[in-house]
């Protein structure tokens, strides 16, 4: 176990998968990611429900901010196909978490 002053170790925690962020308010439901991934995403660009980690809001205290987002885990077997879905997603409502500008991405980078 690491000493209390050491940052937590993060390697291996995702079992070779990656974290994805989905912004439902930015979605245009064009179905491109669904087509590119053979159905991994649905027509609304939503990742499979059994991969969901949680729903987050950038500033939970703000009554006007609606920047809700879903974080999902992408198993290693689907990382390449999901990357294709991200690539064809014109509205950028699906992104790799580490490529996003969310506070959660920043916090995870700070852990490294």
**CATH assignment at residue 51:** 3.30.70
Mean pLDDT lowest for which of 26-35, 59-68, 94-103?
59-68
> 84-100: per-residue pLDDT in tens?
999 999 999 999 999 99
pTM of the model: 0.80
Q: Answer whether residue 9 is part of any domain.
A: no
What's the sign of the alpha-carbon dihedral 44, 45, 48, 51?
negative
Best mean pLDDT range from 12-16, 43-47, 64-68: 43-47
**Listed residue (108, 106, 111, 104) closest to 22, CA to CA:** 104
What integer pLDDT is reported at residue 14 of this predicted model? 66
Q: How far apart are CA 33 and CA 88, in angstroms?
A: 6
Q: Answer whether residue 1 is part of any domain.
A: no
What are the C-alpha distances in Å from 8 to residues 4, 24, 38, 108, 112? Answer: 9, 31, 37, 11, 8
Domain containing 74 equals 19-111
What are the C-alpha distances in Å from 60 to residues 98, 99, 106? Answer: 21, 22, 17
> 7-33: per-residue pLDDT in tens?
444 456 667 899 999 999 888 888 999
What's the domain count of the chain? 1
Average pLDDT of 61-81? 83
């Amino acid at each position: 176990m690491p000493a209390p002053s050491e940052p937590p170790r993060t390697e291996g925690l995702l079992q070779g998968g990656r974290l994805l962020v989905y912004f439902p308010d930015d979605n245009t439901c064009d179905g491109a990611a669904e087509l590119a991934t053979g159905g991994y995403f649905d027509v609304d660009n939503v990742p499979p429900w059994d991969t969901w980690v949680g729903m987050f809001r950038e500033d939970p205290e703000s009554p006007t901010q609606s920047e809700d987002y879903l974080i999902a885990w992408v198993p290693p077997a689907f990382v390449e196909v999901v990357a294709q879905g991200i690539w064809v997603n014109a509205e950028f409502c699906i992104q790799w978490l580490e490529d996003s500008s969310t506070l959660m991405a920043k916090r995870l980078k700070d852990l490294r």
